[in-house]
Amino acid sequence: MSIPAAAALLYAPDGYDTSRPRLMGRHAAGAGFLGGLIRHAGFDRLVALTRKPADATAFRAQVAELGAQVPVQTLADAEFPRLAETGCLMLPGPDLSSFAWQRRRMAPAHGFSLVGITHTIASASAMDSIAELLQSPVQPWDALVCTSSAVRAAVQRLWQGEGAWLARRLGATRIEGPALPVIPLGVDAEALAPDPAARAEWRQRLGLEPLDIAVLHHGRLSFHAKAHPLPMFLGLARAAAAAPAGARVVLILSGWFADATQRRAFTEMAKALAPDLTIRLVERPETNTTLRAAADVFTLLSDNIQESFGLAPVEALAAGLPVVGTDWDGLKDTVEHGVTGFRVPTLLAGPMDDLAARHDGGQDPYDHYIAGVAQFTAVDVGAAEAAFAALIGDAGLRARMSAAARARAVAVYDWAAVIGQYRTLWAELAKLRASGRGERGARLRGEDPVPRRPDPSGLFADYPTRRLAPETRLRLAPGLPDAAAAVARLKAIAAIPGGAARPDLMPGATAFAQMLAGLEAGPASAGTLVAALPPSAAARCFRALAWLVKVDVLRLEE
Protein backbone atom coordinates (compact mmCIF):
# COMPACT_ATOMS: atom_id res chain seq x y z
CA MET A 1 0.00 0.00 0.00
CA SER A 2 1.45 3.34 -1.04
CA ILE A 3 1.65 6.35 1.28
CA PRO A 4 1.85 10.06 0.46
CA ALA A 5 5.37 11.17 -0.39
CA ALA A 6 7.04 12.48 2.78
CA ALA A 7 10.22 13.78 1.16
CA ALA A 8 11.50 15.24 -2.08
CA LEU A 9 15.04 15.03 -3.42
CA LEU A 10 17.22 17.86 -4.62
CA TYR A 11 18.35 16.24 -7.84
CA ALA A 12 21.25 16.96 -10.17
CA PRO A 13 22.72 14.07 -12.17
CA ASP A 14 26.22 14.56 -10.72
CA GLY A 15 25.10 13.51 -7.26
CA TYR A 16 23.64 10.21 -8.45
CA ASP A 17 25.98 9.16 -11.26
CA THR A 18 28.06 5.99 -10.74
CA SER A 19 29.27 5.77 -14.34
CA ARG A 20 31.78 8.62 -13.98
CA PRO A 21 35.52 7.83 -14.38
CA ARG A 22 36.46 9.22 -10.94
CA LEU A 23 33.81 7.58 -8.80
CA MET A 24 33.56 8.97 -5.26
CA GLY A 25 31.69 7.60 -2.27
CA ARG A 26 29.09 10.36 -2.43
CA HIS A 27 28.10 9.34 -5.97
CA ALA A 28 27.61 5.70 -4.98
CA ALA A 29 25.75 6.78 -1.84
CA GLY A 30 23.44 9.07 -3.82
CA ALA A 31 22.59 6.44 -6.40
CA GLY A 32 22.08 3.87 -3.65
CA PHE A 33 19.76 6.18 -1.71
CA LEU A 34 17.65 6.85 -4.79
CA GLY A 35 17.33 3.13 -5.49
CA GLY A 36 16.52 2.44 -1.84
CA LEU A 37 13.87 5.16 -1.84
CA ILE A 38 12.23 3.64 -4.90
CA ARG A 39 12.19 0.12 -3.44
CA HIS A 40 11.42 0.74 0.20
CA ALA A 41 9.85 4.17 0.90
CA GLY A 42 6.40 3.11 -0.34
CA PHE A 43 5.63 6.63 -1.61
CA ASP A 44 2.72 7.24 -3.96
CA ARG A 45 5.00 9.38 -6.13
CA LEU A 46 8.65 10.38 -6.47
CA VAL A 47 9.29 14.10 -6.15
CA ALA A 48 12.44 16.02 -7.08
CA LEU A 49 13.43 19.67 -6.98
CA THR A 50 15.53 20.31 -10.08
CA ARG A 51 17.39 23.51 -10.97
CA LYS A 52 17.45 22.96 -14.77
CA PRO A 53 15.01 21.38 -17.25
CA ALA A 54 17.71 18.91 -18.29
CA ASP A 55 17.97 17.73 -14.68
CA ALA A 56 14.23 17.04 -14.58
CA THR A 57 14.59 14.92 -17.72
CA ALA A 58 17.57 13.08 -16.24
CA PHE A 59 15.63 12.36 -13.02
CA ARG A 60 12.76 10.82 -14.90
CA ALA A 61 15.15 8.71 -16.95
CA GLN A 62 17.14 7.48 -13.94
CA VAL A 63 14.15 6.51 -11.83
CA ALA A 64 12.65 4.69 -14.81
CA GLU A 65 15.92 2.80 -15.25
CA LEU A 66 15.81 1.88 -11.55
CA GLY A 67 12.36 0.37 -12.01
CA ALA A 68 10.11 2.99 -10.43
CA GLN A 69 6.44 2.06 -10.75
CA VAL A 70 4.91 5.26 -9.33
CA PRO A 71 4.35 8.70 -10.90
CA VAL A 72 7.23 11.17 -11.02
CA GLN A 73 6.89 14.84 -10.16
CA THR A 74 9.57 17.48 -10.68
CA LEU A 75 9.51 20.99 -9.24
CA ALA A 76 11.43 23.95 -10.65
CA ASP A 77 13.07 26.58 -8.43
CA ALA A 78 10.07 28.88 -8.84
CA GLU A 79 7.93 26.13 -7.29
CA PHE A 80 10.09 25.90 -4.18
CA PRO A 81 7.17 26.62 -1.79
CA ARG A 82 5.39 23.51 -3.10
CA LEU A 83 7.85 21.40 -1.12
CA ALA A 84 5.31 21.84 1.69
CA GLU A 85 3.23 19.26 -0.20
CA THR A 86 5.76 16.58 0.74
CA GLY A 87 7.11 18.08 3.96
CA CYS A 88 10.85 17.60 3.47
CA LEU A 89 13.64 18.37 1.02
CA MET A 90 16.52 15.87 1.07
CA LEU A 91 19.87 17.46 0.20
CA PRO A 92 22.94 15.48 -0.98
CA GLY A 93 25.38 17.32 1.32
CA PRO A 94 25.61 19.54 4.40
CA ASP A 95 24.63 22.83 2.73
CA LEU A 96 21.29 23.44 4.43
CA SER A 97 22.04 27.14 4.83
CA SER A 98 21.39 28.35 1.28
CA PHE A 99 18.10 26.46 1.19
CA ALA A 100 17.14 27.72 4.65
CA TRP A 101 17.57 31.29 3.41
CA GLN A 102 15.60 30.47 0.26
CA ARG A 103 12.82 29.03 2.42
CA ARG A 104 12.85 32.17 4.59
CA ARG A 105 12.41 34.32 1.49
CA MET A 106 9.83 32.21 -0.33
CA ALA A 107 7.93 29.96 2.07
CA PRO A 108 6.77 29.60 5.69
CA ALA A 109 9.49 28.04 7.83
CA HIS A 110 6.99 25.53 9.26
CA GLY A 111 6.06 24.43 5.75
CA PHE A 112 8.74 21.78 5.32
CA SER A 113 11.99 20.43 6.72
CA LEU A 114 15.48 20.47 5.23
CA VAL A 115 17.58 17.34 5.72
CA GLY A 116 21.22 17.21 4.61
CA ILE A 117 23.83 14.50 4.95
CA THR A 118 27.54 14.34 5.66
CA HIS A 119 30.03 12.77 3.29
CA THR A 120 33.55 14.07 3.72
CA ILE A 121 33.65 16.88 6.26
CA ALA A 122 37.38 17.54 5.89
CA SER A 123 37.23 20.02 3.01
CA ALA A 124 37.11 23.75 3.64
CA SER A 125 33.78 24.05 1.84
CA ALA A 126 32.21 21.26 3.91
CA MET A 127 33.48 22.76 7.17
CA ASP A 128 32.19 26.19 6.13
CA SER A 129 28.77 24.71 5.34
CA ILE A 130 28.62 23.03 8.74
CA ALA A 131 29.77 26.12 10.65
CA GLU A 132 27.29 28.35 8.82
CA LEU A 133 24.41 26.26 10.16
CA LEU A 134 24.77 28.16 13.44
CA GLN A 135 24.09 31.48 11.70
CA SER A 136 21.54 30.55 9.05
CA PRO A 137 17.77 30.21 9.65
CA VAL A 138 17.73 26.43 10.16
CA GLN A 139 15.01 25.26 12.51
CA PRO A 140 14.44 22.49 15.09
CA TRP A 141 12.60 20.54 12.39
CA ASP A 142 15.67 20.50 10.12
CA ALA A 143 18.43 17.90 10.37
CA LEU A 144 21.96 17.11 9.25
CA VAL A 145 22.27 13.34 9.05
CA CYS A 146 25.66 12.10 10.23
CA THR A 147 26.61 8.77 8.71
CA SER A 148 28.68 7.72 11.72
CA SER A 149 29.06 8.53 15.39
CA ALA A 150 32.63 9.72 14.73
CA VAL A 151 31.39 12.24 12.16
CA ARG A 152 28.72 13.47 14.54
CA ALA A 153 31.38 14.09 17.21
CA ALA A 154 33.47 16.04 14.67
CA VAL A 155 30.46 18.18 13.67
CA GLN A 156 29.72 18.93 17.31
CA ARG A 157 33.37 19.87 17.85
CA LEU A 158 33.20 22.30 14.91
CA TRP A 159 30.08 23.84 16.40
CA GLN A 160 31.67 24.18 19.82
CA GLY A 161 34.48 26.28 18.35
CA GLU A 162 32.22 28.35 16.12
CA GLY A 163 29.70 28.84 18.92
CA ALA A 164 32.34 30.01 21.36
CA TRP A 165 33.52 32.58 18.81
CA LEU A 166 29.96 33.87 18.20
CA ALA A 167 29.36 34.15 21.93
CA ARG A 168 32.50 36.23 22.47
CA ARG A 169 32.21 38.34 19.31
CA LEU A 170 28.47 39.03 19.34
CA GLY A 171 27.35 38.11 22.83
CA ALA A 172 25.19 35.30 21.46
CA THR A 173 23.50 33.35 24.25
CA ARG A 174 21.53 30.76 22.28
CA ILE A 175 23.56 28.91 19.67
CA GLU A 176 21.70 26.06 18.03
CA GLY A 177 22.06 24.06 14.85
CA PRO A 178 19.76 21.47 13.29
CA ALA A 179 19.23 17.98 14.69
CA LEU A 180 22.14 15.55 14.24
CA PRO A 181 20.71 12.04 13.84
CA VAL A 182 23.14 9.21 13.05
CA ILE A 183 21.88 7.16 10.09
CA PRO A 184 24.33 5.03 8.10
CA LEU A 185 24.63 4.69 4.36
CA GLY A 186 22.89 1.64 2.98
CA VAL A 187 23.45 -1.21 0.56
CA ASP A 188 21.30 -3.56 -1.47
CA ALA A 189 21.98 -6.65 0.62
CA GLU A 190 20.11 -8.97 -1.73
CA ALA A 191 22.19 -7.91 -4.75
CA LEU A 192 25.38 -8.42 -2.74
CA ALA A 193 24.52 -11.86 -1.37
CA PRO A 194 27.21 -14.56 -1.73
CA ASP A 195 27.09 -16.03 -5.24
CA PRO A 196 28.81 -19.42 -5.77
CA ALA A 197 28.66 -19.13 -9.57
CA ALA A 198 30.27 -15.70 -9.55
CA ARG A 199 32.87 -16.98 -7.10
CA ALA A 200 33.84 -19.83 -9.39
CA GLU A 201 33.98 -17.53 -12.43
CA TRP A 202 36.11 -14.85 -10.77
CA ARG A 203 38.50 -17.26 -9.12
CA GLN A 204 39.07 -18.93 -12.48
CA ARG A 205 39.65 -15.55 -14.15
CA LEU A 206 42.15 -14.61 -11.44
CA GLY A 207 43.94 -17.95 -11.47
CA LEU A 208 43.03 -18.83 -7.88
CA GLU A 209 43.27 -22.41 -6.65
CA PRO A 210 40.67 -24.01 -4.33
CA LEU A 211 42.90 -23.68 -1.26
CA ASP A 212 43.97 -20.10 -2.00
CA ILE A 213 42.81 -17.47 0.48
CA ALA A 214 41.92 -14.23 -1.29
CA VAL A 215 41.97 -10.90 0.53
CA LEU A 216 40.17 -8.11 -1.33
CA HIS A 217 40.88 -4.37 -1.18
CA HIS A 218 38.29 -2.56 -3.31
CA GLY A 219 37.88 1.17 -4.00
CA ARG A 220 40.05 4.12 -4.88
CA LEU A 221 43.73 3.17 -4.86
CA SER A 222 45.12 6.31 -3.27
CA PHE A 223 47.87 6.52 -0.66
CA HIS A 224 47.07 10.14 0.22
CA ALA A 225 43.27 10.28 0.04
CA LYS A 226 42.00 6.85 1.02
CA ALA A 227 44.38 4.43 2.73
CA HIS A 228 48.16 4.24 2.69
CA PRO A 229 48.93 0.66 1.55
CA LEU A 230 52.04 0.15 3.71
CA PRO A 231 50.23 -1.44 6.71
CA MET A 232 48.27 -3.69 4.37
CA PHE A 233 51.33 -4.82 2.40
CA LEU A 234 53.47 -5.38 5.49
CA GLY A 235 50.79 -6.95 7.68
CA LEU A 236 49.37 -9.22 5.00
CA ALA A 237 52.78 -10.30 3.66
CA ARG A 238 53.94 -11.29 7.13
CA ALA A 239 50.70 -13.14 7.86
CA ALA A 240 50.84 -14.87 4.48
CA ALA A 241 54.33 -16.18 5.21
CA ALA A 242 52.86 -18.15 8.12
CA ALA A 243 49.81 -19.45 6.25
CA PRO A 244 48.81 -23.12 6.65
CA ALA A 245 50.50 -25.58 4.35
CA GLY A 246 49.02 -25.59 0.86
CA ALA A 247 47.24 -22.28 1.33
CA ARG A 248 48.44 -19.41 -0.83
CA VAL A 249 47.38 -15.91 0.21
CA VAL A 250 46.42 -13.66 -2.71
CA LEU A 251 45.76 -9.93 -2.43
CA ILE A 252 43.19 -8.68 -4.93
CA LEU A 253 43.69 -4.95 -5.51
CA SER A 254 40.50 -3.73 -7.14
CA GLY A 255 39.71 -0.15 -8.08
CA TRP A 256 41.19 2.82 -9.86
CA PHE A 257 44.32 4.92 -9.66
CA ALA A 258 43.84 8.67 -9.88
CA ASP A 259 47.08 9.10 -11.82
CA ALA A 260 50.47 7.62 -12.66
CA THR A 261 51.93 8.76 -9.33
CA GLN A 262 49.48 6.60 -7.40
CA ARG A 263 50.06 3.63 -9.69
CA ARG A 264 53.82 3.87 -9.29
CA ALA A 265 53.56 4.25 -5.51
CA PHE A 266 51.43 1.12 -5.09
CA THR A 267 53.64 -0.85 -7.48
CA GLU A 268 56.91 0.14 -5.87
CA MET A 269 55.63 -0.33 -2.32
CA ALA A 270 54.34 -3.80 -3.16
CA LYS A 271 57.74 -4.77 -4.58
CA ALA A 272 59.64 -3.34 -1.63
CA LEU A 273 57.38 -4.39 1.24
CA ALA A 274 55.67 -7.56 0.02
CA PRO A 275 57.89 -9.10 -2.68
CA ASP A 276 56.63 -12.63 -2.05
CA LEU A 277 52.94 -11.77 -1.79
CA THR A 278 50.81 -12.79 -4.77
CA ILE A 279 48.85 -9.78 -6.03
CA ARG A 280 46.11 -9.60 -8.64
CA LEU A 281 45.21 -6.14 -9.92
CA VAL A 282 41.67 -5.60 -11.24
CA GLU A 283 41.52 -2.05 -12.52
CA ARG A 284 38.28 -0.18 -12.95
CA PRO A 285 35.99 -3.16 -12.38
CA GLU A 286 32.56 -2.90 -13.91
CA THR A 287 29.83 -1.06 -12.01
CA ASN A 288 28.07 -3.39 -9.56
CA THR A 289 30.94 -5.83 -9.85
CA THR A 290 30.57 -9.35 -8.42
CA LEU A 291 34.32 -9.47 -7.73
CA ARG A 292 33.66 -9.67 -3.97
CA ALA A 293 32.48 -13.24 -4.50
CA ALA A 294 36.06 -14.31 -5.26
CA ALA A 295 37.35 -13.18 -1.88
CA ASP A 296 37.49 -14.77 1.57
CA VAL A 297 38.38 -11.59 3.49
CA PHE A 298 37.98 -7.87 2.83
CA THR A 299 40.36 -5.17 4.04
CA LEU A 300 40.39 -1.40 4.20
CA LEU A 301 43.00 0.08 6.51
CA SER A 302 41.77 3.64 6.16
CA ASP A 303 43.87 6.38 7.72
CA ASN A 304 42.40 9.43 5.99
CA ILE A 305 40.18 12.22 7.27
CA GLN A 306 38.65 12.40 3.80
CA GLU A 307 36.86 9.19 4.73
CA SER A 308 33.74 9.56 6.87
CA PHE A 309 31.82 6.31 6.60
CA GLY A 310 33.38 3.66 4.37
CA LEU A 311 30.79 2.14 2.04
CA ALA A 312 33.03 -0.56 0.60
CA PRO A 313 33.42 -2.41 3.95
CA VAL A 314 29.63 -2.49 4.38
CA GLU A 315 29.24 -3.89 0.86
CA ALA A 316 31.79 -6.53 1.88
CA LEU A 317 29.80 -7.39 5.00
CA ALA A 318 26.72 -7.86 2.83
CA ALA A 319 28.74 -10.18 0.60
CA GLY A 320 29.56 -12.29 3.66
CA LEU A 321 33.19 -11.22 3.96
CA PRO A 322 34.92 -10.72 7.31
CA VAL A 323 36.46 -7.25 7.34
CA VAL A 324 39.91 -6.27 8.55
CA GLY A 325 39.50 -2.52 8.90
CA THR A 326 40.91 0.27 10.97
CA ASP A 327 39.42 1.59 14.17
CA TRP A 328 38.68 4.78 12.31
CA ASP A 329 35.69 6.99 11.45
CA GLY A 330 32.66 5.00 10.23
CA LEU A 331 34.39 1.64 10.56
CA LYS A 332 34.09 2.08 14.32
CA ASP A 333 30.33 1.63 13.85
CA THR A 334 30.20 -0.86 10.98
CA VAL A 335 32.79 -3.50 11.93
CA GLU A 336 32.07 -5.40 15.16
CA HIS A 337 35.51 -6.27 16.48
CA GLY A 338 35.87 -10.01 16.93
CA VAL A 339 32.39 -10.67 15.50
CA THR A 340 32.23 -9.52 11.87
CA GLY A 341 35.95 -8.86 11.55
CA PHE A 342 38.73 -6.97 13.30
CA ARG A 343 39.36 -3.28 13.86
CA VAL A 344 43.04 -2.37 13.82
CA PRO A 345 44.04 0.45 16.23
CA THR A 346 45.06 3.83 14.81
CA LEU A 347 47.10 6.72 16.19
CA LEU A 348 46.67 10.39 15.29
CA ALA A 349 49.53 12.83 15.98
CA GLY A 350 49.36 16.57 16.50
CA PRO A 351 49.32 19.49 16.64
CA MET A 352 48.62 20.22 12.98
CA ASP A 353 47.22 23.73 13.10
CA ASP A 354 49.90 24.74 10.58
CA LEU A 355 48.32 22.34 8.06
CA ALA A 356 44.90 23.86 8.69
CA ALA A 357 46.35 27.36 8.27
CA ARG A 358 48.11 26.50 5.01
CA HIS A 359 44.96 24.94 3.58
CA ASP A 360 42.80 27.85 4.73
CA GLY A 361 45.26 30.36 3.28
CA GLY A 362 45.40 28.63 -0.10
CA GLN A 363 49.04 27.50 0.10
CA ASP A 364 47.99 23.83 0.27
CA PRO A 365 45.20 22.45 -1.91
CA TYR A 366 42.79 19.97 -0.37
CA ASP A 367 44.73 16.90 -1.51
CA HIS A 368 47.92 18.21 0.10
CA TYR A 369 46.05 19.00 3.30
CA ILE A 370 44.56 15.53 3.73
CA ALA A 371 47.85 13.94 2.65
CA GLY A 372 49.62 15.82 5.42
CA VAL A 373 47.17 14.68 8.07
CA ALA A 374 47.33 11.10 6.80
CA GLN A 375 51.11 11.16 6.95
CA PHE A 376 50.89 11.66 10.71
CA THR A 377 48.19 9.03 11.21
CA ALA A 378 49.51 5.58 12.08
CA VAL A 379 47.92 2.17 11.64
CA ASP A 380 49.15 -0.56 14.01
CA VAL A 381 51.01 -2.88 11.65
CA GLY A 382 51.41 -5.58 14.28
CA ALA A 383 47.69 -5.64 15.00
CA ALA A 384 46.97 -5.76 11.27
CA GLU A 385 49.29 -8.74 10.90
CA ALA A 386 47.58 -10.49 13.82
CA ALA A 387 44.11 -9.90 12.34
CA PHE A 388 45.12 -11.21 8.93
CA ALA A 389 46.88 -14.19 10.52
CA ALA A 390 43.83 -15.12 12.60
CA LEU A 391 41.58 -15.22 9.54
CA ILE A 392 44.13 -16.87 7.25
CA GLY A 393 44.87 -19.60 9.73
CA ASP A 394 41.35 -20.48 10.83
CA ALA A 395 38.73 -21.47 8.26
CA GLY A 396 36.17 -21.92 11.00
CA LEU A 397 36.68 -18.35 12.19
CA ARG A 398 36.27 -17.10 8.63
CA ALA A 399 33.01 -19.01 8.32
CA ARG A 400 31.60 -17.71 11.62
CA MET A 401 32.54 -14.13 10.84
CA SER A 402 31.18 -14.50 7.32
CA ALA A 403 27.76 -15.50 8.64
CA ALA A 404 27.80 -12.73 11.25
CA ALA A 405 28.86 -10.15 8.65
CA ARG A 406 26.05 -11.09 6.30
CA ALA A 407 23.46 -11.08 9.10
CA ARG A 408 24.54 -7.67 10.37
CA ALA A 409 24.47 -6.13 6.90
CA VAL A 410 20.95 -7.43 6.24
CA ALA A 411 19.64 -6.28 9.63
CA VAL A 412 21.34 -2.88 9.88
CA TYR A 413 22.62 -1.67 6.51
CA ASP A 414 20.19 -2.96 3.91
CA TRP A 415 18.32 -0.06 2.33
CA ALA A 416 15.06 -1.39 3.75
CA ALA A 417 16.40 -0.80 7.27
CA VAL A 418 18.09 2.49 6.42
CA ILE A 419 15.06 3.96 4.61
CA GLY A 420 13.03 2.86 7.63
CA GLN A 421 15.24 5.09 9.79
CA TYR A 422 14.67 7.97 7.38
CA ARG A 423 10.92 7.45 7.48
CA THR A 424 11.09 7.64 11.27
CA LEU A 425 13.15 10.84 11.01
CA TRP A 426 10.71 12.43 8.54
CA ALA A 427 7.82 11.62 10.86
CA GLU A 428 9.61 13.10 13.88
CA LEU A 429 10.43 16.30 12.00
CA ALA A 430 6.82 16.56 10.80
CA LYS A 431 5.64 16.37 14.44
CA LEU A 432 8.00 19.20 15.35
CA ARG A 433 6.67 21.34 12.51
CA ALA A 434 3.09 20.69 13.61
CA SER A 435 3.76 21.16 17.32
CA GLY A 436 3.57 24.93 17.20
CA ARG A 437 7.13 25.25 18.43
CA GLY A 438 8.36 28.74 17.74
CA GLU A 439 10.55 29.50 14.77
CA ARG A 440 14.12 30.48 15.62
CA GLY A 441 14.70 34.09 14.60
CA ALA A 442 11.24 34.52 13.12
CA ARG A 443 11.05 37.22 10.47
CA LEU A 444 9.81 40.62 11.65
CA ARG A 445 7.39 42.73 9.65
CA GLY A 446 9.26 44.78 7.06
CA GLU A 447 12.53 42.95 7.67
CA ASP A 448 14.67 41.77 4.76
CA PRO A 449 14.32 37.96 4.81
CA VAL A 450 17.96 37.46 3.84
CA PRO A 451 20.11 40.18 5.46
CA ARG A 452 23.13 39.45 3.27
CA ARG A 453 21.01 39.75 0.12
CA PRO A 454 18.66 42.66 0.81
CA ASP A 455 16.38 44.46 -1.60
CA PRO A 456 18.85 46.46 -3.77
CA SER A 457 16.44 49.38 -3.96
CA GLY A 458 16.88 49.72 -0.19
CA LEU A 459 20.55 48.78 0.11
CA PHE A 460 21.59 51.32 -2.52
CA ALA A 461 19.12 54.02 -1.46
CA ASP A 462 21.92 56.59 -1.13
CA TYR A 463 23.11 56.13 -4.72
CA PRO A 464 20.36 58.02 -6.62
CA THR A 465 19.09 61.57 -6.36
CA ARG A 466 15.73 60.28 -5.17
CA ARG A 467 13.71 57.09 -4.91
CA LEU A 468 10.40 56.38 -6.56
CA ALA A 469 7.76 56.54 -3.82
CA PRO A 470 3.96 56.16 -3.84
CA GLU A 471 3.62 59.94 -3.53
CA THR A 472 5.97 60.66 -6.48
CA ARG A 473 3.95 62.52 -9.09
CA LEU A 474 4.29 61.63 -12.75
CA ARG A 475 3.01 62.94 -16.08
CA LEU A 476 3.11 61.89 -19.72
CA ALA A 477 6.22 63.06 -21.56
CA PRO A 478 5.86 65.93 -24.04
CA GLY A 479 4.46 64.87 -27.38
CA LEU A 480 2.35 62.02 -25.94
CA PRO A 481 -1.30 63.15 -25.94
CA ASP A 482 -2.78 59.97 -24.49
CA ALA A 483 -2.17 56.44 -23.20
CA ALA A 484 -2.35 54.90 -26.68
CA ALA A 485 0.48 57.08 -27.93
CA ALA A 486 2.52 56.32 -24.80
CA VAL A 487 2.03 52.55 -25.23
CA ALA A 488 3.03 52.80 -28.89
CA ARG A 489 6.26 54.61 -27.91
CA LEU A 490 7.18 52.10 -25.19
CA LYS A 491 6.53 49.18 -27.57
CA ALA A 492 8.81 50.78 -30.16
CA ILE A 493 11.57 51.27 -27.59
CA ALA A 494 11.15 47.74 -26.21
CA ALA A 495 11.62 46.38 -29.73
CA ILE A 496 15.07 47.97 -30.02
CA PRO A 497 17.87 45.60 -28.88
CA GLY A 498 18.78 46.71 -25.39
CA GLY A 499 15.76 48.98 -25.07
CA ALA A 500 14.61 46.79 -22.19
CA ALA A 501 17.54 44.85 -20.70
CA ARG A 502 15.23 42.43 -18.83
CA PRO A 503 11.89 42.29 -20.67
CA ASP A 504 10.98 39.23 -18.62
CA LEU A 505 10.63 41.51 -15.57
CA MET A 506 8.17 43.84 -17.27
CA PRO A 507 4.37 43.89 -16.97
CA GLY A 508 2.35 43.24 -20.09
CA ALA A 509 1.13 45.91 -22.49
CA THR A 510 -2.38 45.76 -20.98
CA ALA A 511 -1.09 46.65 -17.50
CA PHE A 512 0.98 49.49 -18.96
CA ALA A 513 -2.06 50.83 -20.80
CA GLN A 514 -4.16 50.70 -17.64
CA MET A 515 -1.57 52.67 -15.65
CA LEU A 516 -0.94 55.23 -18.40
CA ALA A 517 -4.66 55.86 -18.82
CA GLY A 518 -4.59 57.34 -15.33
CA LEU A 519 -2.38 60.17 -16.63
CA GLU A 520 -4.59 61.31 -19.52
CA ALA A 521 -6.39 63.76 -17.24
CA GLY A 522 -3.13 65.13 -15.88
CA PRO A 523 -0.33 64.31 -13.41
CA ALA A 524 -0.95 61.62 -10.78
CA SER A 525 0.98 59.90 -8.01
CA ALA A 526 2.71 56.59 -8.58
CA GLY A 527 0.59 55.03 -5.84
CA THR A 528 -2.61 56.10 -7.55
CA LEU A 529 -1.53 54.65 -10.89
CA VAL A 530 -1.16 51.12 -9.48
CA ALA A 531 -3.93 51.26 -6.88
CA ALA A 532 -6.49 49.53 -9.08
CA LEU A 533 -4.18 46.68 -10.09
CA PRO A 534 -4.30 43.25 -8.44
CA PRO A 535 -1.81 43.02 -5.53
CA SER A 536 0.18 40.34 -7.38
CA ALA A 537 0.83 42.79 -10.24
CA ALA A 538 1.06 46.07 -8.33
CA ALA A 539 4.70 45.75 -7.20
CA ARG A 540 5.91 44.75 -10.69
CA CYS A 541 4.00 47.62 -12.28
CA PHE A 542 5.11 50.16 -9.65
CA ARG A 543 8.81 49.63 -10.31
CA ALA A 544 8.17 49.58 -14.09
CA LEU A 545 7.14 53.22 -13.78
CA ALA A 546 10.85 54.01 -13.35
CA TRP A 547 11.58 52.35 -16.68
CA LEU A 548 8.91 54.51 -18.31
CA VAL A 549 10.74 57.54 -16.94
CA LYS A 550 14.04 56.03 -18.13
CA VAL A 551 12.81 55.78 -21.73
CA ASP A 552 11.07 59.19 -21.62
CA VAL A 553 7.50 57.96 -21.76
CA LEU A 554 6.92 59.60 -18.38
CA ARG A 555 8.39 62.66 -16.70
CA LEU A 556 8.56 63.61 -13.05
CA GLU A 557 6.11 66.33 -12.08
CA GLU A 558 8.13 68.68 -9.84
> For 301-358, what is each residue's pLDDT tens digit?
999 999 999 999 999 999 999 999 999 999 999 999 999 999 999 999 999 999 999 9
Distance CA 525, CA 518 (A): 10
Q: Give the closest residue to 126 by CA, choosing from 93, 102, 104, 150.
A: 93
Sequence spans of domains, the chain? 8-185+421-434, 196-413, 456-556
Please say whether the beta carbons of 487 and 465 come within 8 A.
no
> Counting Cβ atoms within 10 Å, is residue 474 exposed (0-12), middle (13-18) or buried (19+)?
buried
The pLDDT, as a whole number, for residue 533 is 87
What is the number of H-type helices and E-type strands within the chain? 20, 17
- Taking only the tens of pLDDT, the chain with its 558 residues reads 689 999 999 999 888 876 655 656 677 788 889 999 999 999 999 999 999 999 999 999 999 999 999 999 999 999 999 999 999 999 999 999 999 999 999 999 999 999 999 999 999 999 999 999 999 999 999 999 999 999 999 999 999 999 999 999 999 888 999 999 999 999 999 999 999 999 999 999 999 999 999 999 999 999 999 999 999 999 999 999 999 999 999 999 999 998 999 999 999 999 999 999 999 999 988 878 999 999 999 999 999 999 999 999 999 999 999 999 999 999 999 999 999 999 999 999 999 999 999 999 999 999 999 999 999 999 999 999 999 999 999 999 999 999 999 999 999 999 999 999 999 999 999 999 999 888 998 888 888 899 988 889 989 999 999 999 999 999 999 999 999 999 999 999 999 999 999 999 999 888 999 999 999 999 999 999 999 888 878 999 999 999 999 999 999 997
Torsion angle, alpha carbons of 315, 318, 320, 323, to 10: 40
Q: Kindly state the DSSP code that residue 413 receives in the 8-state scheme.
A: I
The pLDDT, as a whole number, for residue 381 is 98
Pairing status of strand 46-49 against strand 113-117: unpaired
DSSP letters, 49-79, are: E-SSHHHHHHHHHHHHHTT--S-EEEE-GGG
Fold classified for 196-413: Rossmann fold (3.40.50)
